[in-house]
């Protein structure tokens, strides 16, 4: 399967713990996006990368959140000192070069903070 | 500001009926893209269609059709002869692609129940 993959698919953690998610984009895609989806809502943009450069961060991305894409391939999203409000589905997507290319979404990581 | 409104939170229809999902968008740009995605119970977002702002032709794909009207800023989605497998949450979305920024802004979704 050469689609976008995310790991883990589910994560349950206690409030205050740190968690890290991984996204592997489609191999030739240079743009990578993170979105968050809470129950009953549409996905909300968090941040995106072009190669290893993080080009935009949403105001939703508080100081407790950090994303990296060190070699322009896979990306990690870390949440420090998790709060119950962080419980959500975290979606990763990737796309190729502009002009506009379709974003392909991964299956998501569902985070539950107890 | 860019915004997508899906006024229908939840719709239930009986199998084989036609159903239309409404989408209204706001943008200041003249160049933008509109999308529909399907999210079945498994959770993965499935791309259905992308339409750019310069192409107002309606599109039909099997039982699916889309009606794009710039005059009313609407991009409605119709399923003809609905089937139980069409049950899912459907998202309308917008991307302005300004300065190379192509993040997608999603609506809140319409949950569609197709009853057997």
Tens-digit pLDDT profile for residues B91-111: 999 988 665 567 889 999 999
- Other beta carbons within 10 Å of A10: 10
CA distance A90 to A19: 12
Question: B97 to chain A: which residues are within 8 Å by CB?
Answer: 98-100
Nearest-Cα residue of chain B relative to residue A5: B44
Tens-digit pLDDT profile for residues B65-93: 999 999 999 999 999 999 999 999 999 99
**How far out from the chain centre does Cα B75 lie?**
7
Q: Which residues pair with A22 in a beta bridge?
A: A7, A76
Distance from CA of B71 to the nearest CA of A (A): 24
Contact A30, A50 (CB under 8 A): yes
For residue B103, give the nearest of A56, A104, A107 by CB distance: A56
Q: How confident is the model at residue A100 (pLDDT cuts 50, 70, 90)?
A: low
Cis omega (within 30 of 0) for bond into A99: yes
Antiparallel, parallel or unpaired: β A65-68 and A10-13: unpaired
A-facing residues of B in 38-97 (CB < 8 A) are 42-45, 47, 50, 52, 91, 93, 95, 97
Residue B5 contacts A where some CB pair is shorter than 8 Å = no
Question: B104 to chain A: which residues are within 8 Å by CB?
Answer: 33, 35, 43, 45, 103
């Amino acid at each position: 399967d050469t689609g976008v993959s995310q790991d883990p698919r589910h994560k349950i953690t206690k409030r205050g713990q740190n968690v890290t998610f991984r996204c592997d984009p489609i191999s030739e895609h240079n743009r990578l996006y993170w979105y968050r989806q809470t129950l009953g809502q549409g996905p909300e943009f968090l941040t995106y990368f072009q190669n290893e450069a993080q080009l935009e961060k949403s105001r939703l991305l508080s100081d407790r959140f950090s994303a990296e894409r060190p070699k322009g391939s896979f990306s990690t999203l870390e949440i420090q000192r998790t709060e119950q409000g962080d419980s959500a589905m975290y979606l990763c997507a990737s796309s190729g070069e502009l002009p506009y290319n379709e974003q392909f979404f991964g299956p998501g990581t569902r985070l539950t903070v107890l | 500001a860019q915004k997508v409104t899906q006024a229908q939170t939840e719709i239930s229809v009986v199998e084989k009926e036609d159903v239309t999902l409404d989408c209204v968008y706001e943008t200041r740009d003249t160049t933008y893209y509109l999308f529909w995605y399907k999210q079945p119970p498994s959770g993965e977002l499935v791309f259905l269609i992308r339409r750019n702002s310069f192409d107002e032709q309606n599109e039909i794909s099997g039982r699916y059709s889309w009606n794009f009207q710039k005059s009313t800023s609407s991009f409605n989605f119709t399923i003809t002869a609905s089937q139980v497998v069409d049950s899912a949450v459907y998202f309308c979305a917008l991307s302005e692609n300004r300065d190379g920024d192509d993040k997608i802004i999603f609506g809140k979704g319409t949950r569609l129940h197709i009853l057997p």
